[in-house]
Amino acid sequence: MYEAEEAQWWYAGQRAIASALLEPALGGEAPGRRRLLDAGCGTGFNLLALSRLGLAVGIDLAPEAMAFCRERGVRSGRASLLALPFPDAIFDAVTSFDVIYHAWVTDDRAAVAEMARVIRPGGLLLVRVPALKMLWGAHDTEVQSRHRYTRAELRDLLEGCSLRVERATYCNTLLFPLLLARRTLDRLLGREGSDVGFLPAPLEWAFARALGAEAALVRAGLSLPIGASVVALARRV
């Protein structure tokens, strides 16, 4: 993950989609006055991207993640998503990229409520999770997935925690037929292991362009009807 996160097509494309949702919603406030939290920051590269939008800090439960964050020189600390070490209403925005689906997060509703607690009234929560049970495969087992969500499930989860969902869209839509075929074949052949890694350069280029096109559609206000991930932007009321 540390080696792939900066440039691999999936990570780069998903960052573009997240930015397409978050940046317009933040409005024109000076970035120097914003506080942002990446809840489940992993190896820390998303914190570098978020730092363009304000003072960004991250938490993660894995000690390996903290080691990689130190290598990247980003602000981070070890903590659980279910017990954030921050006072109420301190952040202007919280992000959670592929975290609440994980087996370590035993209660996704409690995790969302805890993230909502540290967001100021009117502040934002951006959540991305894997989508659709039909795509369950070896990668899910390898990364300790607990659940793959539908858009309706994610919307209901957020709205049950004093949050108003402003945008909810699937992503990784254009490549969905290929992903569905790959996961189906994996199940039939009994393949094991994670999908994280680099593809041959022409495929990296093509797949990155596909997600870049989706980011442009999302920034234009469109919501995509199906995909391998689902992302929602909500505001604390």
Q: What is the pLDDT of residues 79-136, one digit of tens each?
A: 999 999 999 999 999 999 999 999 989 999 999 999 999 999 999 999 999 999 999 9
pLDDT tens digit sequence for 42-67? 999 999 999 999 999 999 999 999 99
Q: Which residues contact 143 (CB under 8 A, 6 or more apart)?
A: 102, 194
Res 206: pLDDT: 97
Cα distances (angstroms) measured from residue 216 to each of 21, 109, 155: 10, 31, 22
Domain boundaries, the chain: 9-236
Class of domain 9-236: alpha beta
Give the pLDDT confidence of 169-198 residue by residue, as tens digits. 999 999 999 999 988 888 888 887 777 789
pLDDT value of position 45: 95
Task: Tell me: pLDDT of 77 over 90.
Answer: yes
171: nearest Cα among 107, 128, 233, 109: 128
Q: Which residue has the tokens 């989706």?
A: 214
